C-alpha cells in the first residue's frame, strides 16, 4: 500500500473535526502502528457504585480501533465497525482517565481486526479488553 500515513496531529485534528461530541483524545501514535487514546472521567462517565460506565469504555475501544486503522490506511472516513466484543475485567478508578492502547492483529484487503487494552491512567492491571473488526473500503 502506498497511502499517505497520517501524522498524529492529522489524526487528532480529524477526530476533533468529525466527532466533536466525542471526548476521546489521541495521546500517542507509535512507530509500530499502535495508538493510545484517552477519555476523561467525571460525573457524566460514572454510574451507580462510582465506576466508569461500560458505554464509555466501549466508545473508547471503538475510537481507538478506528484511529489505529486510519493510522495505517489513511484517513478514509468510510471504514465501519462490523463487530466489537469487550470483556470488563476490573472496576476502573473514578478519579482517573481511562486509557486505551490499540494494536491491529490483521490489516487485510477488506477487514481489519484489532485488540484494545483499557487501563485507568497510571495503573498496571487492565480494566477491560476488547477486540473489534472493521470493514475497510475496497479501493484504497
Which of residues 18 and 28 has its CB atom nearest to a copy of itself in the complex?
18
Could you give the angle at the alpha carbon of 84 between the alpha carbons of 137 and 40, nearest 5°? Answer: 100
What is the pairing mode between strands 51-52 and 25-29? unpaired
135 part of the interface to a copy of itself, by CB under 8 A: yes
In angstroms, give the least distance from the CB of 9 to a copy of itself: 19
Which range in 5-13, 25-33, 95-103, 106-114 contacts a copy of itself by CB under 8 A?
106-114
The verdict on 120 binding a copy of itself (CB under 8 A) reads no
Eight-class DSSP state of 92: P
Residues 22-51 that bind a copy of itself (CB under 8 A): 22, 43-44, 47-49, 51
Q: How many CA atoms lie within 13 A of 52 on its CB side?
A: 28
Q: How far apart are CA 11 and CA 53, in angstroms?
A: 26
**CA atoms of 133 and 112, how far apart (whole Å):** 6
Contact residues: a copy of itself, CB under 8 A: 18-19, 21-22, 43-44, 47-49, 51, 53-55, 58-59, 62-63, 77-78, 80-90, 105-106, 110-111, 113, 115, 126, 129, 131, 133, 135
Amino acid at each position: 500500500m502506498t497511502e499517505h500515513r497520517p501524522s498524529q496531529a492529522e489524526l487528532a485534528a480529524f477526530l476533533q473535526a468529525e466527532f466533536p461530541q466525542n471526548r476521546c483524545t489521541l495521546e500517542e501514535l507509535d512507530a509500530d502502528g499502535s495508538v493510545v487514546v484517552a477519555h476523561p472521567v467525571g460525573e457524566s462517565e460514572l454510574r451507580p457504585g462510582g465506576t466508569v460506565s461500560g458505554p464509555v469504555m466501549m466508545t473508547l475501544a471503538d475510537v481507538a480501533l478506528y484511529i489505529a486503522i486510519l493510522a495505517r490506511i489513511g484517513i478514509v472516513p468510510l471504514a465501519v465497525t462490523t463487530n466489537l466484543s469487550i470483556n470488563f475485567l476490573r472496576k476502573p478508578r473514578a478519579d482517573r482517565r481511562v486509557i486505551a492502547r490499540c494494536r491491529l492483529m490483521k490489516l487485510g484487503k477488506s477487514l481489519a481486526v484489532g485488540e484494545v487494552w483499557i487501563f485507568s491512567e497510571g495503573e498496571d492491571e487492565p480494566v477491560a479488553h476488547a477486540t473489534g473488526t472493521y470493514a475497510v473500503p475496497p479501493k484504497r
